[in-house]
Each structure stands twice: as structure tokens, then as C-alpha cells.
Amino acid sequence: DLDAAERGLARIVEHGAEDISEADAWQNLGVVRFYRADLRGSVDAYRRARRGYAQLLGAEHPRLGLIDSDIGESLAASGDHEGALAAYEAALRNFEAALPSDHLDFALAYKGRGQVQLELGQVAAARRDLEHALSLHERSPGEPVERADVEFSLARVLLRSGERGRALELARHAQAGLLELGHAGMAASITSWLSEHE
């Protein structure tokens, strides 16, 4: 129950707890608010988490890049594409300073930036970022839901670029992966897209 989760996290933030840092609580509250479609509240919680992590871990810790990616996702969902792009670019700068270039965390920011670029009609830029995200997933498997999201986003880009065959192949692969994991709800949008384009 998201209401109970939000109340519990709010109590942790207000009163503190020995087993979870305040920054962790703010991050979790950001996730809950995102799924409740409280996007402004989600961004606020993520920004508070970011400040806390910066104080606890230092300004170049990769955790900040993950939070920036979360901020980007919430901003993109709210329609603030410019803010989302800035957040994803901040995430990439953080990862570049803290991680090897083939680290899977980069895929989150490349995926998010690519999805925003696609929404803005920047098809070539979206393709570059989404291809890069997919190559990271291919080298470091372990996040199959994220990979499916990348594949479906790239499929949409490829269709707009006239590469129907590869687009359909990627979409089918993403759909099959989600269904295998039991994510029928997530696969439904791909199923609908495929029915329009096959």
C-alpha cells in the first residue's frame, strides 16, 4: 500500500532511525511519490536525498548520479523535458568522474536522455544514447526490466528512422523478456505498439 509506505517514510524522515539514513528515506519517498504520480513531490524528495548523499558520501559519489537519473525520470514524466535533460547530463558527468565508462549505471542516464530526446523529436541523438545504453546492457546483463525499456525505446526510434525490421525485433524481444519476468502490465504497451506496426 503506497499510502502506508509514504506515511512510514515520512515518520523516518521526521524522527530519524538508526537503521536507515535520512537520505535513504528521502530517496525511497521519492520512489513512492513517483508511483503515486506526485511528480513534484518526487522531485523534491529526490533533491533532498541528493543533498543528504552529497554530505554523507561526497560530491562525486556515483550514488548522486543515480539520484540525478531519478530526478530526470520524474521531470520527464511531468513534461519538463529541459529539466530532465539537465538532470540526465548531471548524472552522466557524475558517472564519468566516478565510474569506468562501461559501468551499467551509465545505461540509466543514457536511456533517460534518449527517451527525452525521442519525445523532443531528436531522433539521431536519441538513437546514439539508446544504442549506447543497449550495448551496456548487452555487456553487463542483470537488469532485464531496464534492458526491455531500452529495447522498446530504441525500437520506437528505429521505426521513425525507417528500420522497421530491427525495430520489430527489438520490440518483440523486450515484450518476451517482460512477459517471462511476469510483467504483463509493462508488456501491454509493447503489445499494443506491435499490433499497430506489425
Say if residue 14 is in the same domain as residue 95.
yes
Q: Please report which helix (H) or strand (E) contains residue 36, including its range.
A: none
- Between 118 and 21, whose confidence is greater? 118
Which tens digits make up the pLDDT trace of 22-46? 888 899 999 999 999 999 999 999 9
> Domain residues for 160?
104-198
Say if residue 155 is in the same domain as residue 114.
yes
Say how many domains are in the chain. Answer: 2
d(CA 142, CA 89): 24
d(CA 133, CA 18): 37
**Residue 80, number of CB atoms within 10 A of its CB:** 18
Which tens digits make up the pLDDT trace of 74-98? 999 999 999 999 999 999 999 999 9
Report the predicted TM-score, pTM, of the whole model to 2 decimal places: 0.89
CATH number at residue 63: 1.25.40.10
What Rg do the C-alpha atoms of the chain give, in angstroms?
18
